Chains A and B, each alone.
Chain A
Amino acid sequence: MQWQAMYHYAGWSLGGGRPLLIGLLLAYLSLTMASASEDSRPIAVIVSAQPSLAPAVHVDDLSLIFWRKKLFAMHGQPLRPVNLSSEHPLRVRFSQQILRSSPKSQVSYWNGLYFHGVQPPFTVQSEEAMIRYVAETDGAIGYIDACHVDDRIKALFWLTAGKLATDSPALHCEN
């Protein structure tokens, strides 16, 4: 009986099977919806909030910048795109929508660029690291969850499902 008592302490009742199932279902649904909500949340393309460090970027040039084909902005300012790690969900989404390919399929491309002396974008491991790098680096441009934009950086564009917009979409950042 000890294990039955344990389940009671945990707030679950083995005798009332229906409430347990409903509880599990609700928990599963809320987790799934939170995950789906984060997956579909807009991505913000960010530059430094300091005007002297922020590059002027046209929305049409974004893929060229992240492919490292366009290396300079106006007046010779170097462009320094930053990526999240190749498994990060935001990197995968950004890559599919802007570069039209998965990070894994880009290995040959980056090797080819290295052969021509061009380094791939700098990679950071977290959104906070992305914010810090972009905020302090001349010409840096990156991307984070639009709900995580703060006053250290400035959002230039927003990537929603299948669309790159220059106006901020309605954000629902509760989750």
Chain B
Amino acid sequence: MTFVRPWMLLSVICLSMLCKPLQADESADFWQAFHLGGYSSGDLRIPHDETAALTLNEISMILTWNRGERLSFFGELELENPLAYEAEHALNGKRGNLDLERFYFDYNLNEQSNLRVGRFLTPVGRWNQLHAPPLVWTASRPLATRRLFSDGLNGAMLFGSVPLGQVDMDYQVYVEALKDQHRDDTEVGYRDVSGARLAFNNLLGRGSRDAGLNTLGLNLMRYRKDLPGSPTYHLLGLDFLLELNRWELTGEMYARRTSNGAEAGHGGYIQSAYAVGSDWYWITRLETLHEVDSRDADRWIVGMTKRVKPNQLLKFELIGGSEAYHDVPRGFVTSFAVMF
């Protein structure tokens, strides 16, 4: 439950400095620039070899401040696993945890670039940056997007988008400034993180009535694990999104080496979502993970997901494969996610 960090104090001071020069008639504008939103999800898990559990996964509150000026603020505070019902432990909140997921300021430098300072999601691939349950088709997360790199960092990032003919290129260059002060038990620790991501959008240039998005992303990252004597790791990643008629195909692939050239793991996933009608989607995913210092995993997921409303997803999925990982065990899962 402890989540106060030095950069949080710095951020609060920055916010206070924003308040100071305000005139009385500007005060209303200042407060009206705040927007509150969030998301929540719950699921029922029926694993092959464990007891069933009904869980409220998170209640996440998002607070933004944006007056249409160069400086803006974003914060996300998440109450993780606030409630669970298990046959052995009945209804309980034992695994409840308060976590400051994101807390940053954005400053627009010029037409092509912006600076972000604070705590933010590491811009690697697609899933890590859009991991909220109302945004993803399955309740389970691909293992490679969780175990091969840091999912968030405290530091600075330069980002923006530039047009390259009919293609748009997004860029994100980031560096960690402060080691993570608090981690969940299941999280791998990282330090000295730096990297970049380039994403090329609209490579196919389709404009027909059934056209959709298409993106190719390139990811580079270096870091050390937060362990004594850890080597420096170099991560290379590719990700893509392709929407074609009724299909949405996504995938991410990563390979990791140490600074002396030794292989240090690889993994990835490929997923399809097919619109079968009435806002129902047939989901299929294959994924793999190979870590040198941990067990390998291959996992498959098939399921059906309904977009109940643009901001609500109802998911049913079967998970199988060689290993049962902590996040979602093998078996059946149904979940509901809403963004508000």
Contact = CB atoms under 8 A, between A and B. Distances in A.
Interface string B30-41: 000001010100
A138 B310 CA distance: 29
Given A60-B163, A102-B212, A111-B135, A71 B130 contact: no
Given A96-B207, A102-B210, A116 B74 contact: yes
Contacts of A117: 35, 62, 64, 66, 72, 74
A108 B74 contact: no
A92 B211 CA distance: 11
A101 B211 contact: yes
B78 to A, nearest CB: 12
B161 interface: yes
Contact of B213 (A70, A80, A97, A101): A101
A107 B307 contact: yes
B161 A100 contact: no
B163 A61 contact: yes
A17 interface: no
B111 to A, nearest CB: 6
A69 B210 CA distance: 23
12 contacts: A64-B163, A67-B161, A67-B168, A74-B111, A76-B70, A78-B69, A100-B202, A101-B243, A105-B211, A111-B135, A111-B311, A114-B37
A100 to B, nearest CB: 5
B231 interface: no
Contacts of B72: 117
Contacts of A102: 209-212
A109 interface: yes
Interface in B196-215: 202, 205-213
Given A61-B111, A111-B311, 8 more contacts: A71-B108, A71-B114, A101-B213, A102-B211, A102-B212, A115-B339, A117-B72, A139-B68
A26 to B, nearest CB: 30
A60 B166 CA distance: 8
Interface of A: 60-61, 63-64, 67, 69-74, 76, 78, 80, 92, 96-97, 100-102, 105-109, 111-112, 114-117, 138-139, 162
A109 B108 contact: no
Contact of B130 (A70, A78, A96, A115): A115
B213 A109 contact: yes
B57 to A, nearest CB: 16
A92 B134 CA distance: 25
Nearest to B65: A117
Which of the listed residues A74, A108, A112, A116 has the most CB atoms from chain B within 10 Å of its own CB? A108
A140 to B, nearest CB: 11
A112 B129 CA distance: 9
A64 B199 CA distance: 13
Interface string B134-174: 11000000000000000000000000110101101010000
Contacts of A96: 207-209, 211
Given A69-B168, A69-B170, A114 B212 contact: no
Contacts of B307: 107
For the complex of A and B, the 10 pairs showing the least CB-CB separation, nearest first, are A78-B68, A69-B161, A60-B163, A117-B64, A105-B212, A117-B74, A72-B108, A112-B130, A76-B70, A96-B207
Contact of B135 (A92, A112, A138): A112
Nearest to A63: B168
Given A64-B161, A69-B168, A72-B108, A105 B213 contact: yes
B132 interface: yes
Given A101-B212, A102-B211, A115-B135, A76 B163 contact: no
Contacts of B35: 117
A71 B67 CA distance: 12
Contacts of B70: 72, 76
